[in-house]
Structure 1
Amino acid sequence: MTCAQGKVLGGSSSVNGMIYIRGQKQDYDHWENEEGCVGWGYDDLLPYFKKSERNESLSGYYHGTQGPLHVSENRHRHPLSQTFIRSGQELGLPYITDFNYENQQGVGFFQTTTINGERASVSKTYLKMVEGNNQLTVKLNVLVHKVQIEKGRAVSVECEINGQKQVIKARKQIVLSAGAISTPKILMLSGVGPQNHLTEMGIKTIQDLPVGKNYHDHLHVSINAVTRLPTSLYGQDLGLQKIKNGAQWMLTVLV
């Protein structure tokens, strides 16, 4: 099974579907109440969601309007999407205009992390804010192998830059933020993880922890159907149609 990862500046926010959705309130509360993750409940995290958000239409208790992350409404609503949403309502599902409200059960149009027809990735929002800061250095094409740990303290990062092995030493601290897949991978390569698995892989265990346990992906099931009329998006990214759509975007969106 393929697990796509955003190995690009901005991470997965540069390649994902741009849907702005935070996750179920119950999941965060489960982490805090059942797994002992104090401070990770929904009410604890909501202020940070709001602080990051610059929503063009929603506000109030659940939304922010002054953050760096642009959140927009869909300007174009495809006829097939509208048909799908009407069908959902006819089956009894409520129509929802906010999928980050108290209840996410229903059908409707998602908001997206976009601004003026362009993707609002992490690199174009957060990183853009500090690109001129002389305390920031961005290294591209870097593959992190592991964090080197001495006497229980992370002291350096072993990585590969353009095929050359390098060790970057830390003066103060190391923050490992490589996504839901690569973060536990790097930790386990560094010797932090379930001892049985690390031993099986020939890695010396520095700290026996259940790293990577209970990983979940947001799987989905695709349904294919044949339409009587050529109204789908198939083929819109090919040949002359691709050129036409690109020209339309440049002439009507970027003005």
Structure 2
Amino acid sequence: MRLPSLVWRVHLRAKSQSATWLSPLLPEVDLPEWLAPAHSGLTAYAELLAGAGVERGLIGPREVPRLWDRHLLNCAVVVDPESGLIPDGASVIDVGSGAGLPGLVWAIARPDLDIVLLEPLLRRATFLEEAVSILGLDRVRVVRGRAEECTLSAAVVTARAVAPLDRLLGWVARLVAPGGEVLALKGSSAAEEIAVAQAAGIAGTYELISCGVGIVEPPATVVRIRELQRPRSAKR
């Protein structure tokens, strides 16, 4: 992926409600051209994370200085329209959404998407509902529940830092609509997790993708699984 010729520089000063834990200045970041229209929404979301997100224990205070590169941009580059990973107007379920990563970032960056934030814990679901309202995200809804019990389905099912891949796929296979796919945001252990999932007999077409090369360092690592077959252990 080439580095766009035009970038937008964002300077964000966090809302410091507790000077004991929050560095008052978040680092400046460069946004790729396609993401520029979302910069105000991402800024507002970053402020929510740096304020209420930390106060309610959804993210650690040490994450505040690296919200943009480690979290917001790391999630956003996955939905770059040029990547073709997520079609226009696709339905998405973000499993174990937590503080809204990646679901809220995707909703801000790609307002054409219909997104469900699936979260079992009440305090996290409450934060997500408040964030959706504050950010004015009309095509996002929060569902409190577990993937294993959810009756919804979507063209794209995603998760970030929820569980090892083999366990995650056992939970989410039921949520993938016919012809759909799983996009699991992973770290350096992605290749090893793919091997474990395949060894466990979880059939599907696996692809390891780097997103945001030249924009975020390190690039975001995505495991794409298509033609996923629901593991026998997950069948009723």
**Superposition TM-score tier, normalisation by shorter sequence:** under 0.3
Relative to its length, the structure with more strand (as a share) is: 2
More helix by share: 2
The normalised TM-score by structure 2 is 0.25
Q: Which has the larger radius of gyration?
A: 1
In the superposition, the TM-score normalised over structure 1's length comes to 0.24
